């Protein structure tokens, strides 16, 4: 990602024009404006080309890009509304959208995905391993072992189903894997975004997407626990095996 940082325009139309020219030349992904944009400060001399209203007029066209970026960072969580053409996004933009769809929203809501708490537990568990801690911790609280197991199971389920569905659709329809992964992630996360492939897919591919949407809406862990057998309490434990990891 290419980031451009500018600071202290101080209401100068002269320097604002230079900034816009630099943006046109460098084509950054994001612009970060720091300091005073319109105010020159009581202890500073008036900058060259001081014209705050002109600066506002020059920066206002950028607000559409700013609002579009903000909206498209929120809607992949589950909303599915589309104010931009996803087919025109770069590969990194699509990848970020897939990641946001995969994580989804928070539990207790209608959002899909693996949920933010699942991702947080997995990250906390990774940090616990790096720090050689016995249990993952976050915000002064220790997480129970069952929460880590459930988070790992949900993450694995969603990842395997998304990738498997994408591989099958890519093979059957002879489409790029990245585009198929976008469709399957959107389906299992019940988002509703699409690159326009779904209406043109065959019966098999559409059936895969239907299954992923149903699986994601009901909830992977809920569905598997509902169809699985009742837990059998064992009177003895199997011998423990030491496995090399990593």
Q: Inform me whether the pLDDT recorded for 229 exceeds 70.
A: no
Give the gyration radius of the chain's Cα atoms: 25
- pLDDT of res. 121: 92
Distance, CA of 160 to CA of 155 (rounded, Å): 9
- pLDDT of res. 1: 61
Q: Which residues pair with 32 in a beta bridge?
A: 5
Q: Which two tokens stand for residue 19?
A: 């900034």
Distances from the Cα of 135 to the Cαs of 28, 84, 149, 153, 156, in angstroms? 42, 43, 12, 18, 20
Kindly report the CA angle at 7 between 6 and 11, in degrees rounded to 5?
110
- pLDDT of res. 230: 62
HSE (CB half, 13 Å, CA atoms) of 151? 21
- pLDDT of res. 226: 66
pTM as predicted: 0.68
- pLDDT of res. 159: 93
Mean pLDDT of the chain: 82
Per-residue pLDDT reduced to its tens digit, 29-67: 777 776 777 777 666 777 788 888 888 888 777 776 666
Q: Inform me whether the pLDDT recorded for 165 exceeds 90.
A: yes
Per-residue pLDDT reduced to its tens digit, 4-23: 777 788 888 888 888 888 88
**In degrees to the nearest 10, what's the CA dihedral of 92, 123, 219, 233?**
150
Distance, CA of 133 to CA of 148 (rounded, Å): 14
């Amino acid at each position: 990602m290419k980031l451009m940082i500018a600071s202290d325009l101080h209401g100068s139309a002269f320097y604002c024009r230079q900034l816009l020219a630099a943006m046109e030349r460098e084509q950054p992904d994001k612009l970060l404006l720091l300091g005073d944009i319109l105010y020159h400060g009581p202890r500073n001399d008036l900058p060259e080309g001081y014209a705050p209203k002109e600066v506002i007029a020059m920066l206002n066209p950028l607000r559409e890009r700013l609002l579009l970026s903000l909206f498209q960072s929120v809607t992949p969580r589950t909303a599915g509304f589309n104010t931009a053409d996803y087919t025109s996004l770069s590969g990194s933009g699509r990848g970020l959208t897939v990641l946001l769809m995969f994580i989804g929203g928070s539990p207790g809501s209608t959002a899909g995905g693996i949920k933010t708490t699942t991702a947080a537990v997995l990250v906390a568990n990774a940090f616990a391993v790096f720090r050689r801690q016995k249990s993952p911790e976050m915000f002064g609280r220790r997480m129970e072992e069952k929460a880590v197991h459930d988070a790992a199971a949900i993450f694995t389920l969603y990842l395997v189903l998304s990738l498997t569905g994408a591989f099958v659709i890519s093979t059957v329809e002879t489409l790029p894997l990245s585009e198929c992964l976008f469709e399957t992630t959107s389906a299992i996360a019940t988002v509703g975004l699409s690159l326009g492939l779904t209406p043109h897919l065959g019966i098999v591919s559409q059936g895969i997407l239907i299954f992923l949407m149903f699986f994601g809406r009901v909830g992977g862990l809920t569905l598997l626990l509902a169809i699985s057998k009742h837990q059998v309490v064992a009177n003895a434990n199997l011998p423990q095996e030491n496995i090399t990891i990593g």
